[in-house]
Every structure is written in structure tokens, then in C-alpha cells.
Amino acid sequence: MTCLRIATRGSALALAQARWVAARLEAILGVATETIPIKTTGDRLQNVSLAEVGGKGLFVKEIEEALLDHRADVAVHSAKDLPAVTPAALALVAWPQREDPRDALVARVRGATLVTLRPGARVGTGSVRRAAQLRAFRADLQIVPLRGNVPTRLRKLEDEGLDAIVLACAGLARLGLSDRIDERISPEVLLPAVGQGTLALEARAGDALGRDLARLSEPQAERAAIAERAFLARLQGDCNVPLAAFAEPASGGLRVRGLVASVDGARIVRGEATSEDALAAGEAAAAAVLRAGGDEVLAGLRGTSGP
């Protein structure tokens, strides 16, 4: 192969991520690369809630089609954009080193934190996960729906009279904007999204290229991704479900903390598990959430009698 074609979303963040991967591939595999930006359905639908139009799969569908049609050789995704299930003809083959998985508070008044924001502060986020946990932490906050790429959201902080917005620390870091973070929010307050801070490389299943791409995987990032995605799969989570999971090394193996919440944050059900086996840890954490009442929360979210 003389040139490796890398499919990615076209946002500034996605392109920065793809360029980082391209540089690693060129150095490790000794191949030239070409970046192929693709505008996904999720990128086109900027003024609607993703939960209303199909969820997180809207950010990967067209990119996966480029792989299946052989218009690209590898795709670079933000792992938190990935649905729980990957098409059978494709495979997730590498998980490079994870960036800071925490959420970031970016405030209009520099130095503010979630605790010090004024009563009734207007906080922007496009995530039902963040919104539910923010409401649980401070019921007085006004949660304002927010869509768009990172630069757009930063502009809206000023243009729409918001007191703060919540973004991912990782995205800000990859854009060279870490200095804009006023608070790196503890997972005790905002448990991160599944895969937050992690990149995922996807290729056609069975391609020899997959083995070469796997050289970019970092073992700890891979184990965490497997565990968190196992949690996601067991609870059948999507953008309309306020769900979070975070895996980290602990005594006894990998500790996975997870939760599911009602949209208003009035009820948050948590569970955790530790295991040497990443898949087992994620599944056990999900089972703990379900046993603690998560099944009832999920049923309420979906209007059904069970998950």
C-alpha cells in the first residue's frame, strides 16, 4: 500500500485527531497518508437534539460507508461517538493512549467552578448525560441546549449570555485550548461518557491492515474502552439515555464505575465492579446498576416495562 486513506469527520477537532493518527502511522508503518474529511448526518443536523433524530450513530454512518465502499482504509473516531454495536464487516482495531477523560467547565468569568457559579447560572451542554448530572449536583442551574463544534460552542458562551459551558477536557487539549479550562470536573461529580478522551481506529474486518493498525493501541486505553463499551452494550445506551461509565486501574484489576439517570437528574442509579478481565468488569458494573434500580430508570426513559 503506497498511501493509507484516513476517513474522519471534518471538524477542527476531528481533523486534529486524524492528523495525530496520521503522523503516528507514518512513523510506525512507514507509509504515506491521506486524510479524507466526511460530513456526517450528525454534522449536518446542528440545530436539533441528536436524541430526537437517531443518536450517536449519526456521527459514524457515512464514515463507515466509506470503509465498506473502499473509499477509505481506516477511520478515526472519537470513541464516545461510537454506538455499542459495530457493523459485522468492520472492526475496531486500535485504541491509542487516552487523553484526560474528565469533563471541563469553561466559564465566562475566568476561574469559576461548578460550586462558585452564581445561583441560577445558565450552563450550556448538548449532552443528556452531563445535563442530568449537573441538575443532580445543583438543581438551581439552568441547563441550556448547546450544539456545534468546539469553536462554535466557545463563541456561544459569549453570544448567548451563558455563564459556562461543559466540554470534554480531551477535545480542548487536542485543539491546544487547555488554557481555556476553568475546572477539570471530578468524576465524582460528572462521571465521563463511555470512551471519552479515547480515539478509536476502525478498519474492514479481516484486513491484514488491522494487525498493523493495532500497533497504535495502548494497553490501558484498550482495556478501559473494552470495559466501558461492555457497560454501554449491556444497557443498550444511546444519546437519549443519560448514561456514563469510567474504567481505571485499581487493586484487583480494572475498576468500572457506571450510572444511568433520569433526564431531570432526580434519580441517578450507580454501580461498580472490579475484575482482571475488562469485558467482565464492564458487564458486572452494568449488572450492578440494573440490580440497584437502573432497569426501572431505563424503562421510564424508553416507555417500556424493562431494559
Q: What is the DSSP string of the chain?
A: --EEEEEEE-SHHHHHHHHHHHHHHHHHH--EEEEEEE--HHHH-TTS-HHHHTGGGGGTHHHHHHHHTTS-SEEEEEGGGS-S---TTEEEEE-PPP---SEEEEESSTT--TTTSPTT-EEEES-HHHHHHHHHH-TT-EEEE--S-HHHHHHHHHHTT-SEEEEEHHHHHHTT-GGG-SEEE-TTTSPPPTTTT-EEEEEETT-THHHHHGGG--HHHHHHHHHHHHHHHHHT--TTS-EEEEEEEETTEEEEEEEEE-TTSS-EEEEEEEESSHHHHHHHHHHHHIIIIIHHHHHHHHTSS--
- Give the residue numbers annotated as catalytic, written as ranges: 81
Nearest to 128 by CA among 185, 49, 64: 49
- CA dihedral over 38, 44, 50, 52, signed as positive or negative: negative
Q: How far apart are CA 207 and CA 225, in angstroms?
A: 22
